[in-house]
């Protein structure tokens, strides 16, 4: 796989100055030599599931710092990205300065501001673990997805291994306060609403309950009128 197109650290300096939490969410995760390995691996897993396809209308739920938007924009005719944080305008200015074409909106996954059957591709990466009402969140994803759209969802797995990793990067207490749902709950409600086609884990040789995180591909089945 070729190198992933990401925003560079210097691009994100205005956001990091405005939001101290970005030291944890972006600086520590994506730019420190050891810590970046699993976080960049998630992106590689997402891209493998996306295949070498250009999507007509793609939605990224939870764009965060916008670090992944350059790659998603290169794979989309039209890219829309949402997040509920208070620095959407700063991220907008960053991607505009890089000539990245994307429509960024402040919005909530529990009330997506889009018509039914809008997107042929949807990414929701490391968002659902922060949501208590998983059924509603997954139903909103399903609602805005076109029939047979490719839906990619990823989240961390909660177990003793991830607790240990979080403790190393001094994130354990922070994660325990913020994480509202675990991987079992998330996957259960995805299965209840969508058709899961593939589940990939990291580390791939371990069962899902012993892994660090999962990324899955799902779809909304086409309704039959026979």
Specify if 125 maps to a domain: yes
Does residue 224 sit within a domain?
Answer: no
Q: Are strands 79-83 and 213-219 parallel, antiparallel or unpaired?
A: unpaired
Give the pLDDT confidence of 106-149 residue by residue, as tens digits.
999 999 999 999 999 999 999 999 999 999 999 999 999 999 99
Distance of alpha carbon 160 from alpha carbon 209, whole angstroms = 10
User: Alpha-carbon distance 15 to 26, whole Å?
Assistant: 10
pLDDT in tens, 148-198: 999 999 998 876 555 555 554 444 444 444 667 789 999 999 999 999 999
Burial 96-124 (b: 16+ CB within 10 A, else e): eeeebebebbebebeebebeeebbbbbbb
Q: Tell me the HSE value of 42 on the side-chain side, using a 13 A CA sphere.
A: 23
Cis peptide before 203, with omega less than 30 degrees from 0?
yes
Residue 204 lies in a domain: yes
For 34-62, the pLDDT digits (tens) are 889 889 999 999 999 999 999 999 999 99
Total domains in the chain come to: 1
- Please give the structure tokens belonging to residue 183: 């991987």
Residue 140 sits in a domain whose CATH number is: 3.40.50.150
Classify residue 4 by its DSSP letter.
P
Q: Which residue has the tokens 């939605």?
A: 59
In a domain, 109, yes or no: yes
Owning domain of residue 115: 9-219
Pairing of strands 145-156, 213-219: antiparallel
């Amino acid at each position: 796989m070729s190198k992933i197109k990401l925003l560079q650290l210097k691009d994100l300096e205005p956001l990091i100055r405005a939001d101290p939490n970005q030291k944890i969410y972006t600086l520590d995760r994506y730019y420190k030599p050891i810590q970046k390995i699993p976080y960049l691996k998630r992106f590689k897993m997402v891209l493998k599931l996306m295949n070498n396809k250009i999507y007509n209308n793609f939605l990224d739920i939870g764009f965060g710092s916008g670090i992944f938007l350059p790659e998603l924009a290169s794979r989309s005719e039209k890219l829309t990205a949402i997040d509920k944080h208070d620095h959407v305008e700063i991220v907008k200015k960053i991607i505009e300065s890089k000539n990245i074409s994307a429509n960024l909106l402040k919005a909530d996954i529990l009330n997506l501001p889009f018509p039914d059957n809008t997107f042929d591709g949807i990414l929701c990466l490391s968002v659902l673990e922060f949501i208590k009402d998983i059924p509603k969140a997954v139903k909103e994803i399903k609602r805005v997805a076109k029939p047979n759209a490719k839906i990619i969802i990823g989240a961390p797995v909660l177990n003793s291994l991830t607790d240990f990793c979080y403790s190393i990067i001094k994130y354990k207490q922070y994660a325990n306060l913020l994480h509202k749902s675990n991987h079992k709950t998330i996957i259960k409600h995805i299965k209840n609403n969508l058709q899961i086609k593939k589940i990939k884990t990291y580390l791939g040789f371990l069962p899902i309950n012993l892994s660090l995180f999962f990324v899955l591909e799902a779809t909304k089945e086409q309704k039959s009128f026979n």
